């Protein structure tokens, strides 16, 4: 069981996360919440959680100061930044400051769960921001900056193992046309038109290498 602590000053976000990760869940649950860093330090003990979900902006407080405080007070606890801020600048700053992941609040439940599981294993997750600028889809950027959904990762793992799209469709109990559609999207993400180049690039992605 992975225990989460949530620090967010928006009650609707906290309630939404509680609904997503119920206390009787088998793999992930929320054990404690706070609306401010001060409340968190006063009420959340280090032994009550495994991963900290931290909002980027908590009032007017400096995000870099916040993460520095939590890294000091909760040593060894991974921190996932959960925010509405679509910003490569802030993503880079928070990852450099010690965050294990920087994800948007609009993330799908399955993808957030996968991010939490990957972070719980001691890895960092570099998520592509969904801005209008495709600045992550360039040849000279490391492939671990490209965000993959659960389905995309499964399909890529199949391709890397040498399976055909038909075999992958049968394994995932879906249609070949759906697999073809996802592969087309993956080619755009990895900035390539050739399937062999997509497979080669995917092999360097942490979500594929770990699978």
Q: Dihedral through CA 58, CA 53, CA 114, CA 180, nearest 10?
A: 0
51: how many CB neighbours lie within 10 A of its CB? 22
Give which of 131, 146, 139 is closest to 186, Cα–Cα: 146
What's the pLDDT tens digit per position in 57-99? 997 889 999 999 999 999 999 999 998 888 888 988 999 999 9
Rounded CA Rg of the chain: 18
Output 86 or 210, whichever has higher pLDDT: 86
Query: What Å distances lie between residue 76 and 13, 118, 193, CA to CA?
Result: 25, 15, 42
Average pLDDT rounded to a whole number, residues 30-41: 95
pLDDT of 46 higher than 60: yes
Distance between first and last Cα of the chain: 20
From CA 31, how far away is CA 52, in angstroms rounded? 10
DSSP 179-194: HHHHHHHHHHHTT-S-
- 35 close to 9: Cβ distance less than 8 angstroms: yes
SS3 category, 2 = strand
What percent of the chain clears pLDDT 90, i.e. is strictly above it? 46
pLDDT of 54 higher than 80: yes
For β-strands 79-83 and 101-104, DSSP reports them as: parallel
């Amino acid at each position: 069981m992975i225990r989460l602590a949530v620090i967010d000053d928006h009650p609707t976000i906290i309630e939404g996360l509680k609904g997503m990760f119920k206390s009787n869940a088998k793999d992930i649950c929320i054990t404690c919440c706070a609306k401010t860093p001060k409340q968190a330090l006063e009420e959340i003990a280090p032994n009550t959680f495994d991963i900290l979900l931290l909002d980027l902006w908590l009032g007017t407080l400096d995000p870099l100061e916040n993460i520095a405080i939590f890294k000091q007070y909760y040593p060894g606890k991974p921190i996932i930044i959960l925010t509405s801020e679509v910003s490569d600048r802030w993503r880079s700053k928070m990852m450099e400051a010690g965050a294990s992941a920087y994800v948007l609040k609009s993330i799908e439940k399955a993808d957030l769960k996968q991010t939490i599981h990957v972070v719980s294993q001691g890895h960092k997750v570099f998520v592509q921001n969904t801005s209008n600028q495709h600045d992550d889809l360039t040849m000279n950027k490391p492939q671990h900056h490209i965000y993959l959904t659960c389905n995309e990762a499964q399909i890529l793992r199949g391709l890397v193992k040498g399976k055909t799209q038909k075999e992958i469709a049968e394994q995932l109990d879906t249609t070949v046309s759906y697999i073809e559609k996802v592969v087309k999207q993956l080619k755009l993400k990895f900035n390539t038109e050739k399937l062999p180049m997509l497979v080669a690039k995917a092999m360097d992605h942490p979500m594929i290498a770990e699978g």
